Structure 1
Amino acid sequence: MTAPQNPITRAIWDGTLPIKLSLDTTEAAALGAKTIIEPYFIEAPRCSYFPLLTSQLRKYFGDMMLNFIGDDAEIWYDVDGTPLKWHYPIGLLYDLHTGYRPDSNSPPPLPWSVTVHFKDFPADKLIRAQAIDATQDFFMSMIKEADFLRNGSTKKVMNLSKNDQTQLWDGLWSKNYDRFWSVNYRLVMNDGQMPRHIPLRIYLPDNCPVLQEPVSPLDDNGNPLTLGDVLHQILPELFPSSLPSENSFAAPVIHGVIPQLDMPIVRASQNLCYPDNFLHIVVLLGI
């Protein structure tokens, strides 16, 4: 089945990040490296997850005759000493950890330098199970949570056939837009019904807790709320107005761009969500 053609969701799906994956130098010696191990370069989908890259990394470093310790669940990644949450999409992690504002004059930090670890898993900072099966389970739980927020139940997801539910993950894993969106379109568009709440998460700097509040798509008078309205409601100190011209200190970033604040929040959710169907918004400070 072919997915309905939406140039916005298609562009988001096709978005990639060049990443330089370097093996931790102290671990390289422990794994038996006799020479300098060259980094692994990859053009990774922004909508994918690091555990889906692990098999490629094991093969790359395995071809160098390294003596691996542990299995895929033990492999983890960090940026500048900060472990990366494997259950976050890659694009979200980049926007969150680089702090790059698209409206600044500085070039983006590319390729993104990420360090790969094969031991000493930081169980106090990361969820332990990060194999592909665990990633699939977590991804589907997010799909169901988004459905619950939209409708007050998970019936739309649970009423999908087993084949359709499997197709969501297979489409993401195989990077097949039509396979994924031919099913997900029905969930995101909600059969033309106005959602009860918008599946939305907001990420702030300095390791602040993730914000997830019930966000109505309409105001008390039944008028559509915009993205700016929602940010003003949740973070009035950072967004003193719902108008973009009056917000210069903080900027929302979604998929590496600053979206228009006058966009209706329902439209933003339907077009700018990640494959887990959440609208993930990174708030960056400063010009």
Structure 2
Amino acid sequence: MDVYSDLDKKLTTCTSLFQTPLVVATLQTGSDVPRRLACFGSSEAWISDIDDIIEGCSLKTEFPVTNILRTKSGRRPTDLGVDPKGSLVYSDHFRRKIYKWKNKQFKKVIGFRKWRPSGICYTSTGDLLIGMSNKDYTEKKIRRYNRGTIRQEIQFDGNGNPFFKSGDLAIFVEENKNHDICVSDCQANLVLVLNRSGCFRFKYSGSHVAAEFNPGCLATDSFCNILVTDTGNDMIHVLDLNGQLLKFVDSTCGVTGFNGIAVDCEDRVWVIECHTAKIKVINYLV
């Protein structure tokens, strides 16, 4: 059965649930300027700062910060992820490596000679998707790894033109539940969505807002919605699987300074409020 047709009933239910977003939990981190966020389960998260610290946080403990780690390289992480077994993974843009927290230490799992990793995510099948650029930022691409082996590279469209704009800003990547590859191209100020084979589906340029669309980190939920932070307009754009804008999550729900973002197993969005160093958990399907 076509994966898109199979989702129709669920997507209709999702659209009918959209009302005013509601903050349902707040975590005060120990971070100075939190940047990236990865959550797992319904109560646990990792965040990273502008330095070499990664904090573990929980909704279930008396003190929200449960763990403090230092990166292997002493540099700040470019992005965070959680593998299918729940292990923390981060990308190091400067050292050109991917590290995993295993047996109480960070171990290199992938290293690159000519490419700098930025956004990372694990797919439903356990593959690792990595957005990356070359050393002088003139080329960007996405690689799919399975157990350390390259399975796919996405760089050019059917006409041989590059998908991603050159420049030193990152590309962040997430897999949607329909297996689409969702990319936030920060340099091009757009969200680009490709199918699993790497073919173009659509792009979203945030034309609904007054100020310039400035996409950052993104996340997806079980309804195939795409949520992307927009630091230029201080909000989250929520798109459906075909790129149609469903709603904004903005300061009306009591959150400002949107930065890192993730969606938990209960379809709640976790977002970093950078100026307060708080994580706020938002139910936007209420």
TM (norm. structure 1) is: 0.27
Which of the two has higher C-alpha Rg? 1
Greater strand content = 2
Report which structure shows greater RCO (CA 8 Å, sep ≥6): 1
